[in-house]
Amino acid sequence: MEFRTKLVISRRNKRAIIAYAGLFIAASSLLLVFIPAFNGYIPYVFGIGIAIVVIGAFIARGDVRNYTLSPEDLIVSIEGISVGSVHYPFRMISNMNFNVEAYDGLYVNDGAMVSGSNSDGMTNDISFEAGGQKINCGFYLQSKEHVTVLRDLFDEFYQRRVPFVERNRNTRTYLLRVLNDVELEEFKRRYGYA
């Protein structure tokens, strides 16, 4: 069994720099609160910042993300992890940690936006230590079916007692689910951890 996906890498969209500058100006308007002589200018500076954000987003054609998909793959299997062309066998790996947030198209309402939005599937990451170095990379989840492949791999890890942690942000999960105390005890019993 193997889980294969694209790596998510940082990138700079030069067109989006204007939007980021506008965001900085809008946020800077809050600093004017501490200078009583400039209190009257706060709405104007904030408004100008928001206008620049909108103009910058328009120039960037709405793509203001600072990450994109890499042509290289992430492959996780029971034999080890391959990040691009570099393979790490499990005998070298420790402190493996998966953060699985959302797949592409999943509706997410985490409070950051009033109405929520659809995920782009690029906010997931894996980290581990190998050969004395810490490796951390983002990965893409294409669909609900793709998540199922990852969950099946986690199931195999649990059966073979491969040490790893899975989570959704700061919440610990088991087979991609948050378990209550009773479910956790049943989970441990099922996989022989009790």
Q: What is the pLDDT of residues 90-102, one digit of tens each?
A: 999 999 999 999 9
Rounded Cα distance between 97 and 76, Å, is: 12
- Residue 96: name the closest of 119, 125, 123 by CA: 125
Question: How many other C-beta atoms can be found within 10 angstroms of the C-beta atom of residue 59?
Answer: 15
Q: Region 111-119: what's the mean pLDDT?
A: 64
Length, in residues, of the chain: 194
Q: Which residues of 1-24 are buried (b: 16+ CB within 10 A; e: fewer)?
A: eebebbbbeeeebeebebbbebbe
Q: How many Cα atoms within 13 Å fall on the side-chain side of residue 140?
A: 17
- Residue 127: name the closest of 102, 151, 96, 89 by CA: 96
Quick one: tokens of 12?
């700079």
Quick one: tokens of 181?
């105390």
In this predicted structure, the answer to whether residue 109 has a pLDDT above a threshold of 80 is no
Q: Region 33-53: what's the mean pLDDT?
A: 85
- pLDDT reported for residue 53: 81
Of 55-64, 115-124, 129-138, where does mean pLDDT reach its minimum? 55-64
In this predicted structure, the answer to whether residue 113 has a pLDDT above a threshold of 60 is no
- pLDDT reported for residue 59: 72
pTM over 0.75: no
End-to-end CA distance of the chain: 26
Q: Region 180-189: what's the mean pLDDT?
A: 94
H runs (alpha helix) in the chain:
17-28, 42-59, 144-159, 181-191
In this predicted structure, the answer to whether residue 114 has a pLDDT above a threshold of 60 is no
Rounded Cα distance between 141 and 36, Å, is: 49
In this predicted structure, the answer to whether residue 112 has a pLDDT above a threshold of 60 is no
In this predicted structure, the answer to whether residue 64 has a pLDDT above a threshold of 60 is no
Q: Which residue has the tokens 């929520």?
A: 116
pLDDT band at 66 (very low <50, low <70, confident <90, very high): low
pLDDT band at 13 (very low <50, low <70, confident <90, very high): low
- pLDDT reported for residue 140: 96
- pLDDT reported for residue 17: 74
